[in-house]
Structure 1
């Protein structure tokens, strides 16, 4: 996987058009001449640590914060078995650091442009998982966003997960994983996971997820 998405970065110092590069594991973007990279959208770090270049940015424990990022990416849709292309638009807003070492805001919103209509999440959860699945639930019967978040072979750790890119894929042990119904079943096969994937990734072994399947349902 090697994709590039048009993006818009905005903070208190202004707005800039850029590109978000995604190789399936690492995200990269360049803003005001500074290269940033991360894996979860909330952990962008500057590759050039020259202080003069970083004065126009805010950081929390080394991670870029106090900004918004909008991007547009293609996403395949299964329309009653027929494949078509749709457009997924995402936005993340990260707040300022608090005394406890956190940031005071983490908003995630998605909208899907499909068949002349726009389906939008409400942006209340702060999670890629919830916002993407909210859009999927709003789609008409027979319409499925094809991505790892809607795949029958993916699940999250019962111990919790990060904002993005921590979805466990079990495509290498399909039979055992498809028998998982709760967290204890998942723990029993956890060591057989193939890799961690991004929620918006898609591989040829995609299987539509059924309601209530696995640990995450």
Structure 2
């Protein structure tokens, strides 16, 4: 026969684990709560997509707050250097085409199909990193760097003019390579001109007069 005490202890264990469905309700609640927050956050991002000027003004405020923070405490130069390298990589991706014309020319043998200044056909420039993702990534990077300034473990002592010099040299070399790439394949990293639909028929123009 089964010992009644062991049966009661087994039932108590099952109840504590959540066998009746009440003990394990915490995890589904947290998951649902996080899902709601994620949906609302994504909704706010979607609504901010067309407001380009306001988004970049918000980023300017975030960047200014970070600069004031670093200048006030006079530290965290390594964090700022890493932030500068990351921003430079984002900027190069923002200026680069989605498909490298050199690779595209080797694959199809037709050469680059990027919009050029001499092209009469309107073709929008497709970036490797779209404008919205560029703004979102750079804003998030500044926010993370700002949070890191509250932890002394990231305040590595370093002679900051050397970091500034290294970053400036890297910026000049990277931009020089990017500009030479633009000149070589004769493309501009912006959508210039406007779409043309052709001239109106002569009868339509006379009727409008």
TM-score, with structure 1 as normaliser? 0.18
| Larger Rg belongs to | 2
Higher strand proportion, which one? 1
Which has the bigger relative contact order, CA under 8 A and spacing at least 6? 2
TM-score, with structure 2 as normaliser? 0.18
